[in-house]
Amino acid sequence: MDVQALKQKATELRKATCKMIYASKTGHTGSDLSCTDILVALYYGVMHQTAATFTDPNRDRYIQSKGHAVEILWNVLADRGYFPKSDLKTYSQFNSPYIGHPNNHVNGIEMNTGSLGHGLALSVGVAKAAKMDGRSYHTYTLMGDGEQAEGSVWEAAMAASNFKLDNLTAIIDHNGLQISGKTVDVMNSEPLKAKYEAFGWHVIEIPGNDMQAIVTALETKPVAGKPTLILADTTKGCGVKFAENKAEWHHKVPTAEQYQAALDTFNQELKEGAK
């Protein structure tokens, strides 16, 4: 897909995700909308993995450390054909595998995640395995900025540099908010760029809801011997004005009026993008 098509796809998936959250009456709305563009760039533009190649040992790997933003991931995987879209009607219902965090009983999920601070360490192990096995696949992981307060993140960051994992790209959804407020107030982990560079990473900072910037960063050739961090400055609740930059929308379901307003916004964007 070209960048315009990727933008259209991101809008379609924001709309589908909001529909699922509204129907199920649960979900991390703000967190999902924040990272939608990143997942679209990965799954439709950059990552060498499809539903047909998910069991191929040479496929690229994706581990979503920011597991609470699973609603957008479920919609991406369904749209890419990993499982039928109709399955998502059971989201968060009793005995459904489509639960509130990634579940590796579902096709397309590498590992269970959701306990924040684990995803980077898991990804370091997967990337190290590729080096040991002589495989060429690349490993991607998406973290939230709130989880940067976890000590395991920094142990993993140190290990990634130590093992020269230039086949690893970590992305931080850097929206500045977490469930209990601003990250700088809850537990200030800034300056993230300088810290990761001090840990031996190659860092690229981008506007994280700019599709062209995301694709360019993901397609940038790795620096030999260094893992890559993409520090994506995003907007929590991106695309829905009443939810943007508000911590309360970390986990919140829209009212009927808010839901209709969101649909109107997405429909207008899709109409304009189709011109």
- Residue 22 CB-half CA count within 13 A: 16
Host domain of residue 114: 3-273
* pTM check: above 0.85: yes
Of the candidates 177, 107, 117, 106, which has an alpha carbon nearest to the alpha carbon of residue 141? 117
Q: What pLDDT score was predicted for residue 161?
A: 98
State the Cα–Cα distance between residues 198 and 47, nearest whole angstrom: 28
What is the pLDDT, as a whole number, of residue 138? Answer: 98
Q: Is the pLDDT of residue 274 over 90?
A: no
Residue 194 has pLDDT above 90, yes or no: yes
pLDDT at 273: 83
Phi-psi region of 135 (alpha: psi -120 to 50; beta: other; left: phi over 0): beta
Please determine, for residue 114, whether its predicted confidence score (pLDDT) is greater than 90: no
> For the segment 153-162, what is each residue's pLDDT rounded down to a tens digit?
999 999 999 9
Q: Say yes or no to pLDDT of 275 above 80.
A: no
Q: And the tokens for 28?
A: 């991390």
Question: Mean pLDDT over all residues of the chain?
Answer: 96
Domain CATH number, residue 134: 3.40.50.970
Query: pLDDT tens digit string along 70-109?
Result: 999 999 999 999 999 999 999 999 999 999 999 999 999 9
The count of domains in the chain is: 1
Give percent above pLDDT 70 in the chain: 100
| pLDDT of the residue at 218 | 98
pLDDT of residue 193: 98
Q: What integer is the mean pLDDT of 192-220?
A: 98
**pLDDT one-digit tens code per residue, 33-71:** 999 999 999 999 999 999 999 999 999 999 999 999 999
